[in-house]
């Protein structure tokens, strides 16, 4: 994600609901967490295995991912490695929900820099939701519209693909997504397409 620091004439600002991607092949587990997170104000995306999880993560760019480990086609660890290799998804906070709680899995999670390793049954569903909410608390984003003809915007447009603020992928007008830094000092920002989630 590029970090920008220029002046904008803002046409609007609003906060978005955090999006969570839940990846688990167990229908009961997946649907239980989906229901609880919806009640807690999340937009929920569900995937049945790692392959589908990668697909949804790259298309939807969720604010946080909760994944199981043992799944068909692609397990949770391979899902994480794949997302970490993608510039668009590598910064997404990830939590693992482990049904077995094996120490070797915990070590793997630490090596991959996983933010939360949760053992199923060791914490209540509400406690798990709070732990996930803490991962996205500092990553809640603001979406801003702007005047592409004001200040330095025309000059900057010349440096972008297509020489404009239209999405290179689908030609929709891009917006500015601003994310507070975790340490509370300043913001990161990126141009983002609201139709296809392309990020500059």
**Which domains, and CATH codes, for the chain?**
1-16+141-200 (no CATH), 17-137 (3.40.50.2300)
Q: Which of 118, 26, 2, 23 is nearest to 65 (CA)?
A: 23
128-156, pLDDT tens digit by residue? Answer: 888 888 887 554 667 788 888 889 989 99
Neighbours of 79 (CB within 10 A): 28
- Please state the pTM of the whole predicted model: 0.62
Burial of residue 32 (CB within 10 Å: 0-12, 13-18, 19+) is middle
Is the CB of residue 64 less than 8 Å from the CB of residue 133? Answer: no
Sequential pLDDT tens for the chain (200 residues): 443 434 333 444 344 578 899 999 999 989 999 999 999 889 999 999 999 999 999 998 899 999 999 898 899 999 999 999 998 898 899 999 988 878 889 899 989 988 789 888 887 888 888 888 888 755 466 778 888 888 998 999 999 888 999 988 888 888 888 777 655 567 778 888 776 667 77
3-24, pLDDT tens digit by residue? Answer: 343 433 344 434 457 889 999 9
Q: In Å, how far are 20, 52, 68 from 71, measured between CA atoms? A: 19, 11, 7
């Amino acid at each position: 994600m590029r970090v920008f620091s220029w002046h904008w004439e803002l046409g609007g600002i609003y906060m978005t609901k955090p999006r969570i991607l839940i990846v688990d092949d167990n229908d009961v587990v997946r649907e239980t967490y989906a229901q609880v997170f919806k009640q807690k104000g999340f937009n929920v995306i569900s995937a049945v295995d790692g392959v589908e999880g990668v697909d949804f993560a790259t298309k939807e760019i969720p604010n946080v991912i909760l994944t199981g480990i043992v799944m068909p086609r692609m397990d949770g660890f391979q899902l994480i490695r794949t997302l970490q290799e993608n510039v668009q998804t590598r910064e997404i906070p990830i939590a693992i929900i482990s049904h077995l709680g094996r120490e070797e899995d915990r070590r793997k999670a630490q090596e991959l820099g996983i933010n939360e390793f949760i053992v199923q049954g060791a914490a209540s569903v509400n406690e798990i939701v709070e732990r996930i909410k803490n991962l996205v608390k500092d990553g809640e984003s603001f979406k801003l519209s702007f005047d592409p003809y004001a200040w330095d915007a025309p000059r900057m447009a010349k440096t972008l693909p297509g020489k404009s603020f239209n999405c290179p992928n689908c030609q929709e007008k891009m917006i500015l997504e601003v994310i507070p830094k975790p340490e509370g000092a300043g913001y990161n920002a990126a141009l983002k397409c609201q139709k296809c989630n392309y990020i500059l």
